[in-house]
Amino acid sequence: MAGALLTVQDLRVGFLTEQGLVRAVEGVSFDLEPGQTLGVVGESGSGKSVTAKALMNLLPSYAQVGGTVDFDGRDMFAMAASREKHFWGVEMTMVFQDPMTSLNPVKKVGEQIAESLRVHLGRSRRDALAEAGDLLEQVGIPEPGARLTQYPHELSGGLRQRVVIAMALACGPRLLIADEPTTALDVTVQKHILDLLDDLRRARGMAMILITHDLGVVKGRADEVMVMYAGHTMEEAPTTTLFAEMRHPYTEALLETIPRIDTPSHTRLVPIPGRPPEVIEVLDGCPFAPRCRYSIARCLTNQPDLTSHGAGHLCACHAPVGTPSGTQARSANESAGTTATGLDMDQFTRNVPVADPGQSGAEG
Amino acid sequence: MAGSGTAHLRGHDEMVLRVENLVMEFPAGHHQVVHAVSDVSFDIRRGETLGIVGESGCGKSTTARAIVQLPPPTSGRVVLDPGTDRETELTALVGEDLRQVRPRLQMIFQDPISSLNPRRRVRDIVGEGLHIWAEESDDERIRARVDEVLEAVGIDPTVAANRRPHEFSGGQCQRISIARAVVLEPEILICDEPVSALDVSVQAQILNLLEEMKLRYGLTLVFIGHDLSVVRNVSDRVIVMYLGKVCEVGGADALYSAPAHPYTRVLLASAPEPASTVDGSEAAIGDEIPSPMDPPSGCRFRTRCPRADDRCTTEEPILRTLDDDHFVACHYPTAAGPSGA
C-alpha cells in the first residue's frame, strides 16, 4: 500500500526446540499507515509478541525468520546490526509488559531517559536531563523534577510504566509497539496508561501497535484489529467492523466467552472447549477447528486462506460467521450434535452443566 | 472507605461463616506495621458465593487467608456455623483442635502449576487429604473417590491419575486443584484469583466448572478477584475492598447496577469496557495508592477521591444501609439513602 509506514509480508518465525520446530508465526501480513493504531489480539502462544519482536529484529539468532518487514522503504531484516542500534528508539520503539524489568534498578530514572537522548541525539548531559524532565511531565508524572533523581523501586507500578513510556518516546519515534503495556497493572491505572498512550500517539502523529489478550482494550482505541491464533492471522478488520460484523468463529467465541460487566450474575458463559494448540505439529487444516462450533470436513484438511469480506476486512475461515456457509455449517452441526472434529455441541447450549466423563480428555 | 461497621451483617440464619472485626497486621521492621486488613466484617450464607474485589494491596487475599487461619489474624473473630449448636470459633482454636476443623475449609490458588507438587502424581495429590483423614487405611475406597472427583472436574482418571502436573496445561492443573479441594467435601471453598493466570478461552471453562461444583457438592464459595466482570458473574454478594477496608457491600446485581461508593464507581469506569451505570470520566483519579504502613486518616480512599472534604479527613465513614442488602462506607455516596452520620 502506498504511504504505509510499515509493511509486513508473509512473516514466519520458527524456533527449533528439542520437541521439534515451533512455528510461532505462520505467514502474517499487514500494513500500518503513519499515525494509525493496529491492535493485535491473541492468547498466549498466538504469536503476537513474537511478531512484535520480529518487527524490531529483536529475536534471538537461533530463530528462523522468513518474510519481509519494510519500515518506510527500509528492509528491516537486511539492516546491518550497527545501523539497527540507531534505528531502535529513534524510528521504532517498544514498551513491554513489566515496567520493573524494562528499567535498570541501579540507575536513576532521569539518567535512564537521558541516556537515549545522549546516545541517539547527541545531547549534552545537562540538556538531556532537562529534556528528561519535560518528558516526565508529558507522561503525566507529578513533580517531574524530583522524580529524575529517584530509582525505579521508589515508584509505583503505574509511575514506572509512565517512565518506560517516557524513555520510549524520548527520541520521537514514528512507531511505538506496546506489548501488553497494562497487563501487570491495576485496573484504575490501566485505563490511565492506555489513555496516555492514545493521547501521545495523537499529539505526535505516531503509529502504534497495541498488543493485548483483551478485546476490550482495543475496542475504541485501535483503528484496525488483527486477531491471531496459533501463529496465524484469523481475522483482520477496521475495529468498528470487527465488533459489528465479526466473521471468524474464534473472534465470536472470544467475545462470547468473556463475562460482561453489565450482564447479571450467574449468567452461564459460553465456553471455548479445549485449549490453544501446541504450535509444534504442522497442521493440515485450520488451527482453531478442534475447538470450533462451525467446523466442517474441509476445516480438517485445508487451511483456509484470508479472504475479503468487505472493505479492509479479511477472515480465514471456510464457514465464516454470518455468511450462508457459516450459518449452514453451524445449524448442521447443531442438528448432528457434533462438529466435524467430533466436538460435542451440547456443551455450548446446556444450562445446568453436568460432568461428562466421555470428553474428559479435551479441555484446558 | 471505611470498612468498619457491622450494619451489613445478617443475623445468624443459615450463615455458614461470620467474620467480625478482622484485623491483620504485619511487622515491617523499623517499628513500622503494615495494616493489611483493618476491621473488616462479613458473613456468608450457606450455598452463597461471596465475591471480594479490589486492586492489589487492598487486603482481599489476606482476608481469605485469615479465614483459614493462615496465619491467624491479629485480632477479630472467625466463626463457623454462627448461632447454632455447632458454632465453632476458628480464631479460638489452636493445634489439633484447629487441624480437626480444617477439612471444612479448602482453598484454590491463582497459579495452578505452582500450587501442585511437581514430583507427585495426580492421584496422590488429589488423594492426600483422604489418606490423612481416613479412619483406617482403605486404599480401594480412596481410589474410587479420587476417580469420581477427577471425573467430576473433567479429567479422565484412567489417563491422568498417574501423570505429574507438568504434563498438564494451566487449565487442567486448575481442574486438578479444584478436585483436590472438593475431595474432602468441604463446606467452604476459598478461591483466590483462580482464573487470573489462565487464557481467556480457558477462563470460562473454569468459571462454569466452579458453578457446577458448587451445585454438585453443595459448596459455599468465597471468590477473590480483581476482574470486576468475572466477580459479578460468579457472585451472589460482592464486597469491594480498598487498602484494608470495606467500601461497599451488596447483592452482586444491586451493587453493579447502582454503585454508590466513589471507589466502586472508579473501578467500574476503569474497566476496559466501562459499565453502563457509570460515566467513563469517573475513572480520572490519581494513580498513587497510599502506603498500607501509613494509611490516610479518616476515610482511606480520601487521597484519591473526587468527593473528599474535611470531614473525610477527620471522620471515618462507617458502613451503613443504603437499600435492602446494599451497604456503603462513605459520607457522600451516590445513591440517595438514609444519612447515616
Chain A CB contacts of B198 below 8 Å: 364
Q: What is the DSSP letter of A152?
A: G
Contact check, Cβ <8 Å, A263/B253: no
Cβ contacts below 8 Å, chain A against chain B, sum to 160
Strand partners, A65: A13
Residue B340 above 70 pLDDT?
Answer: no
Candidate from A191, A213, A267 with C-beta closest to B283: A191
B267 in A contact zone (CB under 8 Å): yes
Q: Supply B250's cell numbers.
A: 451488596
Contact check, Cβ <8 Å, A156/B288: yes
Model confidence band, residue A100 (pLDDT cutoffs 50, 70, 90): confident
Chain A CB contacts of B156 below 8 Å: 357, 360-361
Give the Cα separation of A168 and A208 in Å (integer): 12
Contact check, Cβ <8 Å, B212/A263: no
Task: Give the DSSP H or E segment for B24.
Answer: strand B15-27
pTM (2 decimals)? 0.88
Strand partners, A94: A177
The sign of the dihedral angle between the CA atoms of A214, A326, A237, B270 is negative
Please identify, among A154, A172, A190, the residue that sits at the C-terminal boundary of a domain: A172
Chain B CB contacts of A261 below 8 Å: 228-229, 232, 256, 268, 271, 273-275
> Is A146 inside a domain boundary?
yes
Residue A146 phi, psi dihedral angles, 5° rounding: -70, -30
Which of B267, B287, B301 would best serve as a mutation to test chain A binding (most A beta carbons within 10 A)? B287
B65 in A contact zone (CB under 8 Å): no
Count up the domains in chain A and report the number. 2
Which of A218-222, A267-271, B134-138, B274-278 shows the lowest mean pLDDT across its residues?
A: B134-138
Q: What is the pLDDT of residue A238?
A: 96
**Which comes out higher in pLDDT, residue A276 or B91?**
B91
Give the Cα separation of A173 and A165 in Å (integer): 11
**Which comes out higher in pLDDT, residue A349 or B252?**
B252
Q: What is the pLDDT of residue B338?
A: 39
**Which comes out higher in pLDDT, residue A31 or A156?**
A31
Kindly report the nearest CA distance between residue A258 and chain B, in angstroms.
7
> Is A317 inside a domain boundary?
yes
B241 in A contact zone (CB under 8 Å): no
Q: What is the pLDDT of residue B92?
A: 92
> Is A34 inside a domain boundary?
no
* Domain region containing A150: 101-172
The nearest alpha carbon in chain B to A270 belongs to B204
Q: Residue B279: which CATH number?
A: 3.40.50.300
Residue B134 above 60 pLDDT?
Answer: yes
> Is A235 inside a domain boundary?
no
Chain B CB contacts of A141 below 8 Å: none
Contact B235, B252 (CB under 8 A): yes
> Is B144 inside a domain boundary?
yes
Looking at residues A128-151, what average pLDDT do you find?
92
> Is B339 inside a domain boundary?
no
Please identify, among A118, A137, A172, the residue that sits at the C-terminal boundary of a domain: A172
Give the Cα separation of A156 and A185 in Å (integer): 10
Give the Cα separation of B160 and B151 in Å (integer): 10
Model confidence band, residue B1 (pLDDT cutoffs 50, 70, 90): very low
Looking at residues A228-243, what average pLDDT do you find?
95
For chain B, give the percent of residues with pLDDT over 90: 72
Kindly report the nearest CA distance between residue B195 and chain A, in angstroms.
12
> Is A194 inside a domain boundary?
no
> Is B170 inside a domain boundary?
yes
B residues 124-143 near A, CB within 8 Å?
Answer: none
Residue B189 above 90 pLDDT?
Answer: yes
CA B10: distance to chain centroid?
18
Side chain identity, residue A112: Q
pLDDT digits (tens, 9 = 90+) for B220-270: 999 999 999 999 999 999 999 999 999 999 999 999 999 999 999 999 999
Please identify, among A121, A153, A172, the residue that sits at the C-terminal boundary of a domain: A172
Query: Any idea which residue has 509480508 for its cell?
Result: A9
> Is B235 inside a domain boundary?
yes
Q: What is the pLDDT of residue B335?
A: 63
What value does the mean pLDDT of chain B take?
90
Candidate from A214, A267, A364 with C-beta closest to B272: A214
pLDDT digits (tens, 9 = 90+) for A33-91: 999 999 999 988 899 999 999 998 889 989 999 999 999 888 888 887 777 777 888 89
The nearest alpha carbon in chain B to A159 belongs to B287
Count up the domains in chain B and report the number. 1
Give the Cα separation of B72 and A70 in Å (integer): 60
Give the Cα separation of B55 and A312 in Å (integer): 39
In B252-308, beta strands by DSSP E? none
> Is A126 inside a domain boundary?
yes
Which of A96-100, B41-45, B117-121, B122-126 shows the lowest mean pLDDT across its residues?
A: A96-100
Model confidence band, residue A18 (pLDDT cutoffs 50, 70, 90): confident
Q: What is the pLDDT of residue A2?
A: 55
What value does the mean pLDDT of chain A take?
88
Give the Cα separation of A49 and A65 in Å (integer): 14
Model confidence band, residue A358 (pLDDT cutoffs 50, 70, 90): very low
Contact check, Cβ <8 Å, B288/A275: no
Contact check, Cβ <8 Å, B287/A271: no
pLDDT digits (tens, 9 = 90+) for A273-329: 888 887 677 778 999 999 999 999 999 999 999 999 999 999 999 999 999 999 999
Residue B218 above 50 pLDDT?
Answer: yes
Chain B CB contacts of A196 below 8 Å: none
> Is A263 inside a domain boundary?
no
* Domain region containing B134: 15-328
> Is A56 inside a domain boundary?
no
